[in-house]
Amino acid sequence: MDDIQLAVGIFYLVFPWIGFPVYARIIYIFLSRKDYRQMECYRIMTLMGIIQCMTTAPTTIHYVLVLLSVVVSFSYSTALFFPRCGFGFIPGVYLGIYQIESEQCEWIVFIGSLLILIPSIITFLIYVVIILYLIRLKLKTSIRHGLSDELRILFYALLRFSVDFSLEMVFHYAGLPHIPIYDIPQTVAVVFSGIYLSPMMYLILSKQLRQKFLRNSNETEVIKISAPTNVRIPNRNYTVEQQPRFA
């Protein structure tokens, strides 16, 4: 084993764990705050984070989707154990590669790429449909606060789709030679996309989450309430007057 293999191996082991505290902090906020727990979208995000941190099977009401995911993953993994077909690492190659030795294995690899690319496209289209629906609802109501929220959702969806789709296209169809200058950036990009990209986008796009993330757990959250100048209390014969604020 040469020095570069040792250095890359250590980096591959350490790099995924660097972002664990950030992800764990976000998951803690989602679980500890009632306003987040009551929203289904944040429950899904929390579940995704727990899966990526603990790599355990999810327990949700969506048993059909879970069962489908397990069946597809198990079938695809089993297919890689067929004779003359496999997926693994070779010393000196810093990226997992398919060991294609038959036409059947080529079909397995092709189907595997579709199982990743097609859901990515469908997910992006669902994001677009949701955004269009939100815009339609906003146009039908008296809400006129611009489209900043919808644009943030679209930006996240577009970035998530672009990164995942590009990585899969490069891995399956670019045909790049297996040399360190190509293999190492691809592996780092895959880890970054799976572990770092989502929490980074959560913190960038959500000001409320960013404030809670940076706030010390012992700090008291101050809620500003606008009160009228004179407040009359029912069944009382006196008035509470707001005192002027001094700089």
Show pLDDT as tens, one digit a residue, over the chain (247 residues): 577 778 888 887 888 788 777 777 777 776 777 666 555 555 555 555 554 555 444 455 456 766 777 787 787 777 777 777 777 777 778 888 887 777 777 888 888 888 888 888 988 888 888 888 878 877 777 655 667 777 777 888 888 888 889 988 998 888 888 888 888 888 889 888 887 887 788 777 777 777 777 775 445 454 455 544 444 545 545 444 444 443 3
Residue 231 confidence (pLDDT):
47
**What's 98's domain CATH number?**
1.20.1070.10
Kindly state whether residue 99 falls inside one of the protein's structural domains: yes
In angstroms, the CA 204 to CA 73 distance is: 32
| Inside any domain, residue 244 | no
**23 found inside a domain:** yes
Q: Which domain does 129 fall in, by range?
A: 3-215
- Alpha carbon distance 79, 75 (integer Å): 6
Q: So what's the pLDDT on residue 172? A: 85
Q: Supply the pLDDT for residue 53.
A: 52
What is the SS3 assignment for the chain?
Answer: CCHHHHHHHHHHHHHHHHCHHHHHHHHHHHHHCHHHHCCHHHHHHHHHHHHHHHCCCCCCCCHHHHHHHHHHHHHHHHHCCCCCEEEECCCCCCCCEEEECCHHHHHHHHHHHHHHHHHHHHHHHHHHHHHHHHHHHHHHCCCCCCCHHHHHHHHHHHHHHHHHHHHHHHHHHCCCCCCHHHHHHHHHHHHHHHHHHHHHHHHHHCHHHHHHHHCCCCCCCCCCCCCCCEEECCCCCCEEECCCCCC
Residue 200 lies in a domain: yes
The per-residue pLDDT for 56 is 44
Asked whether 113 and 172 are in contact (CB, 8 A), the reply is: yes
Residue 233 domain-assigned (yes or no): no
Q: What is the pLDDT of residue 1?
A: 57
Q: Specify if 29 maps to a domain.
A: yes
Quote the number of domains for the chain.
1
Q: Is residue 55 part of a domain?
A: yes
Please answer whether residues 103 and 82 qualify as being in contact, where contact means their C-beta atoms are separated by less than 8 angstroms. Answer: no
Query: What pLDDT does 130 receive?
Result: 81
